Amino acid sequence: MADLLLIDGHNIIFRAFYGIKPLSRRDGFPVNAIYGWVKTIWRLQDLVRPQKTFAFFDLGKSTARLEIYPEYKANRAPTPKDLQKQILPILEISKTMGIGVLMEENVEADDFLASFAVQQAEAGASVAVASADKDFTQIIGGSIVQWTPVVTPLKSDWQPMDSERVMAKWGIPPEAMVDFLSLVGDVADNIRGIRRVGAKTAGRLLRQYGSIDGILAHANELPAELHNQLHQDEELLRRNQRLVRFNLSAEPLILEVPARRNDDFYKLLLKYELPSLMQTAMERDSCVSQALLSWVED
């Protein structure tokens, strides 16, 4: 269904950690995020059937955004220690699964992922972005589709979000999402929106006037309280746009996925005492080596 599967690494890791009950090895080392990560990768690959899979991870906050707004993401709690312990094992396991891993100091992974997605789409590739982060809706369109988690009464799964679904959900096209998020704010990133402007109002204003520029140009047509609030917060709106909009000017990324190392992958699953994943992995792989089978039995 897509040439490339691009995974928002920390987004998926956090979902795995909080979505799966605590699991640990016999020595107490936590493994629930590792378990959830591998299961999620398999599910996404089964749905998307990509030729290549890449995972993007943060190595710290964006210095560029902190210069714009020092309180950017300041409301986030520290990463739980049990999750921190599992990040390096997840990176190691991902590489043995044949997943390309990208991290860059002081640059948000979201910017690199979005930049890479747009570059590859412009080069003719079909791209699937896996993340629960609504910021990625701004690059949806053409050959870029976002896969987002959906919870049903029976289970949680993933569904594709294309331009039509963005329009159906928010009432605006993907290209208006930067202005939409700038108006309503984003609690997760500690970005304050405009008072008196919720999702319905923001959607209505953007449908009517097209953009924040259009809204401000016609502010005198709006109720007095909203008119005054928008002009009072115009500087805030411009700052929000700079915070929300992805930086797509990153240098072209030439990424290659590592070769799958099945034996190493299986050994890591055994190291972290995940026998159910081991069983599933061997069922998914018809080329289990005799050397590995002997190692497992020992």
- Reported as a pLDDT band with limits 50, 70 and 90, residue 153 is low
Beta strand 127-130 pairing with 4-8:
parallel
- Quick: pLDDT tens for 50-96: 999 999 998 766 678 888 988 888 888 888 999 999 999 999 999 99
| pTM for this entry | 0.91
Q: What value, to the nearest 5°, has the Cα angle with vertex 226 and ends 133 and 236?
A: 50
H or E element, residue 52: strand 52-58
The per-residue pLDDT for 71 is: 86
Residues 6+ apart with CB under 8 A from 128: 1, 2, 4, 5, 6, 44, 48, 50, 145, 146, 147, 160
Decide: 8 and 56 in contact? Cβ < 8 Å: yes
Backbone φ/ψ region at 157: left (φ over 0), alpha (ψ -120 to 50), beta: beta
Residues 6+ apart with CB under 8 A from 53: 4, 5, 6, 7, 41, 45, 97, 98, 99, 100, 257
Residue 289 clears pLDDT 70, i.e. is over it: no
Average pLDDT, integer, range 170-193: 94
Q: What's CA 108's distance to the chain center, in Å?
A: 11
Phi-psi region of 119 (alpha: psi -120 to 50; beta: other; left: phi over 0): alpha
pLDDT at 297 over 80: no
144-151, strands of its sheet edge to edge: 100-104, 52-58, 4-8, 127-130, 144-151, 156-161
What phi, psi does 163 have (nearest 5°)?
-60, -40
Half-sphere exposure of 272 (CA within 13 A, CB side): 27
Neighbours of 112 (CB within 10 A): 23
Tens digit of pLDDT for each residue in 209-266? 999 999 999 999 999 999 999 999 999 999 999 999 999 887 766 778 899 999 999 9
Quick one: tokens of 273?
């005492």
Neighbouring-strand partners of residue 24: 30
What is the arithmetic mean of pLDDT over 186-201? 91
52-58/144-151 β-pairing: unpaired
Q: Alpha carbon 166 to chain centroid distance?
A: 16
In this prediction, residue 291 carries a pLDDT of 47
Show the domains of the chain with their CATH numbers.
4-166+247-284 (3.40.50.1010), 174-244 (1.10.150.20)
pLDDT digits (tens, 9 = 90+) for 97-150: 999 998 877 778 899 999 999 999 999 999 999 999 999 999 999 999 999 998
Q: How far from the centroid of its chain's Cα atoms is residue 234's Cα?
A: 29
The 8-class DSSP code of residue 102 comes to E
Reported as a pLDDT band with limits 50, 70 and 90, residue 161 is very high
